[in-house]
A and B are shown apart, each in its own frame.
Chain A
Amino acid sequence: IVLTQSPGTLSLSPGERATLSCRASQSVAGNYLAWYQQKPGQAPRLLIYGAFSRATGVPDRFRGSGSGPDFALTISRLEPEDFAVYYCQQYGLSPWTFGQGTKVEFK
């Protein structure tokens, strides 16, 4: 399954809302879709799994949505620490695959 993320870069200011898209080349079985945040020099951090469920300790400003081939990650109000690269990943069908990433940068 090929995952296509858009946009490639999102230029926003703190306090603004961010909406990131992840489109799969075919339906993702069981909504087995996760979202990760990665900052430079760090391993990825799991934000969302099962399309909707927040991982432990993830603030509720992060919300996952969607089903089938179309998924989204919404950050309701950007905090300074949210500026990073975000990846979606499907784990419903082997081989597991990641999207190419969306960078959320300061405007």
Chain B
Amino acid sequence: DVQLVESGGGLVQPGGSLRLSCAGSGFTFSSYWMHWVRQAPGKGLVWISRINSDGYSISYADSVKGRFTISRDNAKNTLYLQMNSLRDEDTAVYYCAMNLPSDNWGQGTLVTVSS
């Protein structure tokens, strides 16, 4: 079975940094595009970034461009999201997802940006 497990969320002050990880198992991680999607409390889904299978093609939503960096380590079956210059409005549950559109999502990790 496909499993995606996010980690690395937590409380961070505005302007701070955080790195999220998403460990994949049950599938050939290196063959699939991967995505990050977030959801602010009580709000809708927002796609924020994707990376192709070999890591050389990357795209970001305008809201995070220049602040967030997506990457992957196919040897470790792990997807990353480096988040810098965090703002209050980045507070959300962050999901990793495989090969959107897909039924394969992680359970999410909560990032809270607050002083």
The docked-state distance in angstroms from the alpha carbon of A11 to that of B61 is 32
- B44 near A87: Cβ-Cβ < 8 Å: yes
Contact partners of A55 in chain B: CB under 8 A: 103
Does A44 lie at the interface of the complex (its beta carbon under 8 Å from any beta carbon of B)? yes
The docked-state distance in angstroms from the alpha carbon of A97 to that of B100 is 11
Q: Given contacts A43-B95, A43-B106, A43-B107, is CB(A97)–CB(B101) below 8 Å?
A: no
Contact partners of A98 in chain B: CB under 8 A: 37, 44-47
- A96 near B50: Cβ-Cβ < 8 Å: yes
Task: Specify the chain B residue showing the minimal Cβ separation from A5.
Answer: B44
Q: Interface size bucket, B side?
A: 20 to 34
Task: Specify the chain A residue showing the minimal Cβ separation from B46.
Answer: A98
Q: Mark B56-80, 1 if CB is under 8 A from A, else 0.
A: 0001111000000000000000000
Residues of B within 8 A of A (CB): 35, 37, 44-47, 50, 59-62, 95, 100-103, 105-108
Residues of A within 8 A of B (CB): 34, 36, 38, 43-46, 49, 55-56, 85, 87, 89, 91, 94-101
The docked-state distance in angstroms from the alpha carbon of A34 to that of B35 is 15
The docked-state distance in angstroms from the alpha carbon of A99 to that of B68 is 22
Task: Specify the chain B residue showing the minimal Cβ separation from A38.
Answer: B45
- A95 near B100: Cβ-Cβ < 8 Å: no
A46 in complex: contacting residue of B35, B45, B60, B101, CB < 8 Å:
B101
